[in-house]
Amino acid sequence: MLHLASRSPRRAELLARLGLDFGVIDLDIPEHQGALEPASEYVRRVAREKAGAGLLEVVAVPGAVVLGADTEVILDGRVFGKPADAGDAAEMLRALSGRTHEVTTAVALVSAGREAQAVSTSQVRVARLSEADIDAYVACGEWAGKAGGYAIQGRFQAHVEHLAGSYSGVMGLPLFETSRLLRQFGLPA
């Protein structure tokens, strides 16, 4: 059986689009980038840690396969995780304004005998944001719990000038890469 090691309702919604039945494992995995850890390695490591911790929760379930994922916004090598508060979200949006940044999502799939991983990196260009734009977006609250302080699937879509890559990857689970991994594990996707 497939299990999603994530609290994210977006990830669950995206995984459901593949038509699979799955359980959800609610985990709280610390997400702290090491001082010298490159952003791309950090994203991969966190996805592996989530999947591994999830597998420990369901290790007694025969045939258990656990999917873990992590999504980060990266600008100039700096990881923009989930904002701590509205002020932090506003600062992130100011930094992203008028610039192109990367959104990297790593997906890890583990079972008792295997592990595989895939990474999706997309380029997102944000239009120049006025202070009024930032204030209005922060006031709507959509930024809470979102890497980089925005949700591309919501109101912020109006500020995305260009996207090159995976829309579902920017949302939190790249469906093309995830589907490939699931097929490697014999799961129809």
**Helix, strand, or coil here: 3?**
strand
Which residues pair with residue 2 across a beta bridge?
22, 65
- Half-sphere exposure of residue 127: CA atoms within 13 angstroms, side-chain side: 12
Find residue 23's DSSP bridge partners: 3
**Residues 26, 70, 76, 85: which is the catalytic one?**
70
Question: Which residues lie across from 163 on neighbouring strands?
Answer: 124
Distance of CA 180 to the CA centre of its chain: 17
Write phi, then psi, for 66 (nearest 5 degrees).
-120, 135
Q: At 67, which helix (H) or strand (E)?
A: strand 65-75
| DSSP state for residue 27 in the 8-state scheme | -
Closest listed residue to residue 182, CA positions, set 121, 106, 119, 110: 110
Longest dimension (CA), the chain: 54
For the question of residue 21 being annotated catalytic, the response is no
Q: Catalytic residue numbers?
A: 70
